[in-house]
A and B are shown apart, each in its own frame.
Chain A
């Protein structure tokens, strides 16, 4: 079975632009969660979606939004990019929620210039 897939793998944007990151979960997994990881730090929780509904949100500004589609894939959108948004964005899937094994994708490396 395919693992969690994320696209694109790398992205370069300039301040003020908008970005959309995509994630496809493992087949049979209905929960998708998003994380921001800055080099040298642990992942920071952004959102969790289950059955197309937002089930959790971390301490991120409203510039960050997400959604989940009927096929359980997900998008993370970031508006008005700031230099500080430069990070690795990880997507993880699980069968139902956060309290079980999370399977992580390879991530999208976002650079904001």
Chain B
């Protein structure tokens, strides 16, 4: 059973701090990795995607991927109260003839003003 795990929350950080969200996956053949944000009562929305080892930055967000360690992370710099949400890690896993997407359980982030 292919799995995606995330650091258990809830995670609380003060406004302006760096929030670090972590995700590990079991399928070594996974190629595509996504971070979605889900506000309470709303649908997930994409924040970042990363395909290659290393860092990818977009504004206050940085995604980091280490395929050897089967680890992907999301850093949020200068955290704002509006960043308070659940963050979902999603991994594309290849089955015999098709892809499937596996979401982690999510990490709840609370940014304290």
What residues make up the interface of A, taking CB atoms closer than 8 Å to B? Answer: 33, 35, 40-45, 48, 55-58, 90, 97-102, 104-107
Q: Known contacts A97-B99, A98-B92, A99-B32; is A42 also within 8 Å of B46 by CB?
A: no
Interface contact B105-A56, CB-CB below 8 Å = no
User: Which residues of chain B from 72 to 108 have any CB-CB distance to chain A below 8 Å in the complex?
Assistant: 88, 90, 92, 95, 98-106
A-B contact count, CB below 8 Å? 60
Q: Known contacts A42-B106, A99-B31; is A104 also within 8 Å of B99 by CB?
A: no
Interface contact B98-A48, CB-CB below 8 Å = yes
Pick from A40, A41, A45: contact of B101, CB below 8 A. A45
B14 within 8 Å of A by Cβ?
Answer: no
Residues of A near B102 (CB, < 8 A) are: 45
Interface contact A43-B46, CB-CB below 8 Å = no
Pick from B4, B32, B100: contact of A56, CB below 8 A. B100
Given contacts A45-B102, A102-B44, 16 further A-B contacts (CB under 8 A): A33-B101, A35-B103, A42-B90, A42-B103, A43-B44, A43-B88, A48-B99, A58-B100, A90-B43, A98-B92, A98-B100, A98-B101, A99-B31, A99-B32, A100-B49, A101-B46
In chain A, what residue has the closest Cβ to B4?
A42
